[in-house]
Amino acid sequence: MATPIGNLEDMSARASTVLAKVAVVAAEDTRHSGRLLQHLGIHKPLIALHDHNERDKANRILAELEAGRDVALISDAGTPLISDPGYILVREARAQGMRVSPIPGPCALIAGLSAAGLPTDRFLFAGFLPAKRSGRRAVLDELSLETSTLVFYESPHRILSAVSDIAEVLGPDRDVVLGRELTKTFETFYDGPVSVVLEQLEADPHGARGEFVVMVRGASPTPGGADSGALDLDRLIRLLMAELPVKKVARLAAELTGRPKNELYQRALALKES
Ligand code: SAM
């Protein structure tokens, strides 16, 4: 079941009722969730279920379920399994024919998207970007032509490097929206071209503090179709690069495809390096 991502009033009435009824609560961090239960006046046995022990603990929780005792699965914040533990447990419970029922509620990525003003008809949630710069840039490069809105989670100590890599790999003009400390006292949104947002973040003394949802406008669609267009575009850039310097390649490709010159420049550089 989902629990608040900052504001305790976001705990749904149904989630509280069910939490009060179950026999056992499986929680990522029992101390953290113990405080939530205490706030709600609920006292239940807690089982710790986190990334490092999920395989072992899943068996213990499955035994509880088999014995007919209901178990609530919660994480530290938001919806379990969304960049949080629970996948192995839910998969196994389903495989064994047990009833798994969602109790929906807060989720940082949905909260962010609902207020960002970026297209939400198609979005791609990619979890946390890799911690190392090379890995992060490789993932961004892979997503550079994706036309869906991109959504990432990011920790405060990597937010500046992540935004700076987005600017370099996807181009400084790509629109981004950062949702910081959503539902909390210091909730802040930064939005605009990524180069501008990076400056705002650097200039704000509290900018790099707190938790972030990073949302990025998708690439402009290629005329003539998404995936086939993407493949043709790379081919076009490679063909031009065989004859011309990168800057000229970007200018010509922009004229031929109608896509932003800077985006094509970044793509040409990435193809050259790969
Ligand atoms: N399961 C959670 C959910 O449903 O959103 C996400 C858990 S993930 C381990 C934690 C990350 O979610 C944070 O590093 C941050 O990127 C994002 N997040 C969680 N709470 C947030 C908030 N209040 N404001 C902005 N981002 C938040």
Say whether both 269 and 230 belong to one domain: yes
Ligand 1 contacts CB of residue 153 (under 6 A): yes
211 alpha carbon – ligand 1 mean position (Å)? 6
Q: Cα torsion for 146, 195, 130, 234, to the nearest 10°?
A: 40
Residue 101 covered by a domain? no
98 alpha carbon – ligand 1 mean position (Å)? 29
Distance CA 254, CA 260 (A): 6
Of 37, 67, 95, the domain-final residue: 95
Ligand 1 contacts CB of residue 155 (under 6 A): yes
Check residue 224 and give its pLDDT.
52
212 alpha carbon – ligand 1 mean position (Å)? 7
Ligand 1 contacts CB of residue 107 (under 6 A): yes
87 alpha carbon – ligand 1 mean position (Å)? 17
Say whether both 148 and 49 belong to one domain: no
1 alpha carbon – ligand 1 mean position (Å)? 15
Distance CA 265, CA 11 (A): 47
Check residue 234 and give its pLDDT.
86
State the Cα angle at 245 between 244 and 246, rounded to 5°. 115
Parallel/antiparallel/unpaired status of strands 71-74 and 46-48: unpaired
Say whether both 140 and 90 belong to one domain: no
Distance CA 265, CA 254 (A): 9
Of 65, 95, 125, the domain-final residue: 95
Check residue 246 and give its pLDDT.
95
Which atom of ligand 1 approaches the CA of 155 most closely? 14
Answer yes or no: are the C-beta atoms of 151 and 126 closer than 8 Å.
Answer: yes
Ligand 1 contacts CB of residue 82 (under 6 A): yes
Helix (H, G, I), strand (E, B), or coil: what is residue 94? helix
Domain of 158: which CATH number? 3.30.950.10
Say whether both 112 and 211 belong to one domain: yes
Q: Output the CA–CA distances (angstroms, integers) from residue 108 to 11, 21, 80, 89, 156, in the order listed.
A: 14, 26, 11, 22, 15
Check residue 230 and give its pLDDT.
55
5 alpha carbon – ligand 1 mean position (Å)? 7
Residue 84 covered by a domain? yes
- The total domain count for the chain is 3
Q: How many helices (H) and strands (E) does the chain have?
A: 11, 8
Say whether both 18 and 91 belong to one domain: yes
Domain of 91: which CATH number? 3.40.1010.10
Residue 102 covered by a domain? no
pTM, two decimal places: 0.84
Of 167, 195, 216, the domain-final residue: 216
Q: Collect all residues with Cβ–Cβ distance below 8 Å to 75 and sequence separation of at least 6.
A: 3, 27, 28, 84, 85, 86
Say whether both 158 and 124 belong to one domain: yes
Say whether both 36 and 135 belong to one domain: no
Residue 233 covered by a domain? yes
232 alpha carbon – ligand 1 mean position (Å)? 37
Give the tokens for residue 93: 């419970």
Per the rule left: phi > 0, alpha: psi between -120 and 50, beta: everything else, 74 is beta
Say whether both 206 and 259 belong to one domain: no
Per-residue pLDDT of the chain (274 residues; tens, 9 = 90+): 999 999 999 999 999 999 999 999 999 999 999 999 999 999 999 999 998 899 899 999 999 999 999 999 999 999 999 999 999 999 999 999 999 999 999 999 999 999 999 999 999 999 999 999 999 999 999 999 999 999 999 999 999 999 999 999 999 999 999 999 999 999 999 999 999 999 999 999 888 899 999 999 999 876 555 444 455 788 899 999 999 999 999 999 988 888 889 889 999 998 888 7
Q: Output the CA–CA distances (angstroms, integers) from residue 260 to 75, 181, 266, in the order listed.
A: 42, 33, 10
Which atom of ligand 1 approaches the CA of 78 most closely? 4
Instruction: Return the CA Rg of the chain.
Output: 22
Say whether both 86 and 116 belong to one domain: no
Residue 230 covered by a domain? yes
Check residue 226 and give its pLDDT.
47
Residue 247 covered by a domain? yes
Q: Cα torsion for 50, 53, 56, 60, to the nearest 10°?
A: -40
Using a 10 angstrom Cβ sphere, with 0-12 exposed, 13-18 middle and 19 or more buried, the burial of residue 160 is: middle
**Host domain of residue 66:** 8-95
20 alpha carbon – ligand 1 mean position (Å)? 25
Half-sphere exposure of 229 (CA within 13 A, CB side): 16
Nearest CA to ligand 1 atom 2: 78
Pocket-testing residue among 107, 153, 184, ligand 1, by greatest number of atoms within 8 A of Cβ = 153
Ligand 1 contacts CB of residue 28 (under 6 A): no
Residue 100 covered by a domain? no
Pocket-testing residue among 51, 83, 103, 190, ligand 1, by greatest number of atoms within 8 A of Cβ = 83
Give the tokens for residue 251: 């200018």
Say whether both 171 and 128 belong to one domain: yes
Residue 103 covered by a domain? no
